[in-house]
A = this chain, B = another copy of it.
């Protein structure tokens, strides 16, 4: 009982002060017929030493870390995380604090989140950023809901088939009890067919959602897509890859109305899927309609500059059912990770990382497609990730790679109908700045290239 403070003698004293005979008496308000009359059936307690032993054994049963070489993608990537990022988020004053409602006791977090918002605006070229959403998928949904509020159109949302299937599934769930139609435009060539997009959009459409680079790794034509949306009064919502902005044009450059992202690449470990970081940015004019917390700068009683949570009137704890979102707990500590990461890499580091990813991915694509039976699924430019089709089947190549110490994937069959049968022999391969030529060569050799 390492965490409980009061000793039996103290508990007695306290009960006496309270005027109760026993601790049980304090629970008198709980009706007898609701009380659990037995002990919970949970595994027996463990000391720290035992816990460490047991969990280390379990961790050892995962194929991860150590000598593995990770080329997996699909929205989560094995990017390098500088040690200084870990150091920043390891400060107890950050990670054991609550949401910074009490401004005087939270200037550290508040300023850090203000800096996060500022950095993300600069990264994306967008006007404003909130202080984080749950992750990339819900950011897309929140963006679509905001588009409905902004446009007043609640009937139709158009999303490209080249958008991460999980993002699309989340959107479908979020819309499942509403009357809004979700139109998914197939992208058999790996990217949007502009003519189809144009056809799908109309004056009932709240927004067009696309991803760039998209789920298959391919580059879309973002400026065109944003223009098409604009032309029918819909918002363009792009899901981008933060690392790609060390090389590619920014959402603000190509006219996106809302730019969201999974921020995992910015210094966040893969940890089997979360916690990650939902980045959410948009045009200034949407500020009072946007979801999520915002930190603003102001001055204090005697004019000193300081930071506070602001525009809270949008949020659930004030506006309740009229709130712009139901989000309360967000992903503060991950936003702090991204802040530290962006501060450390700076413009030049981000460029280096992006170019390394790009170069190595192209080298890997070249090497892997030299393997008989393996080819690129799409003839489209890509950034750091690409889709391979494998005559021998997706699972076979993944297994072969895994046995040689390389993790590829996911296999697109994992996504079922959200991707469809036509790509069930396909796998994703992502190459980050961490991979070396040697590893890529070894992988190709292991796969028979």
Question: Which A residues form the contact surface with B (CB < 8 A)?
Answer: 48-49, 52, 60, 66-67, 80, 82-83, 87, 90, 92, 433-434
What residues of chain B lie closer than 8 Å to A80, measured between beta carbons? 48-49, 52
What residues of chain B lie closer than 8 Å to A52, measured between beta carbons? 80
* Complexed CA–CA distance, A80 and B47 (Å): 11
Closest chain B CB from A5 CB (angstroms): 14
Q: Which of B48, B60, B433 contacts A82 (CB 8 A)?
A: B48
Q: Which of A49, A82, A87 has the most CB of B within 10 A?
A: A49
Do B434 and A49 have beta carbons less than 8 Å apart? yes
Do B48 and A83 have beta carbons less than 8 Å apart? yes
A-B pairs with beta carbons under 8 Å apart, 11 shown? A48-B80, A48-B82, A48-B83, A49-B80, A49-B433, A49-B434, A52-B80, A60-B66, A60-B67, A87-B92, A90-B90
Closest chain B CB from A411 CB (angstroms): 28
Copy total for this chain: 2
What residues of chain B lie closer than 8 Å to A433, measured between beta carbons? 49
| 8 extra interface residue pairs, beta carbon distance < 8 Å, beyond A48-B83, A49-B433, A60-B67 | A48-B80, A48-B82, A49-B80, A49-B434, A52-B80, A60-B66, A87-B92, A90-B90
* Complexed CA–CA distance, A433 and B47 (Å): 12
What residues of chain B lie closer than 8 Å to A90, measured between beta carbons? 90
* Complexed CA–CA distance, A433 and B434 (Å): 40
- Please give me the 9 A-B residue pairs with the lowest Cβ-Cβ distance, nearest first: A49-B80, A48-B82, A49-B434, A90-B90, A48-B83, A60-B67, A49-B433, A87-B92, A48-B80
* Complexed CA–CA distance, A52 and B83 (Å): 10
Chain B residue with minimal CB distance to A82?
A: B48
What residues of chain B lie closer than 8 Å to A87, measured between beta carbons? 92
* Complexed CA–CA distance, A83 and B49 (Å): 10
* Complexed CA–CA distance, A126 and B82 (Å): 46
Closest chain B CB from A28 CB (angstroms): 34
* Complexed CA–CA distance, A80 and B82 (Å): 28
What residues of chain B lie closer than 8 Å to A82, measured between beta carbons? 48
* Complexed CA–CA distance, A49 and B85 (Å): 13
What residues of chain B lie closer than 8 Å to A434, measured between beta carbons? 49
* Complexed CA–CA distance, A35 and B83 (Å): 36
Closest chain B CB from A360 CB (angstroms): 13
* Complexed CA–CA distance, A67 and B90 (Å): 27
Chain B residue with minimal CB distance to A83?
A: B48
Chain B residue with minimal CB distance to A356?
A: B49
* Complexed CA–CA distance, A434 and B48 (Å): 11
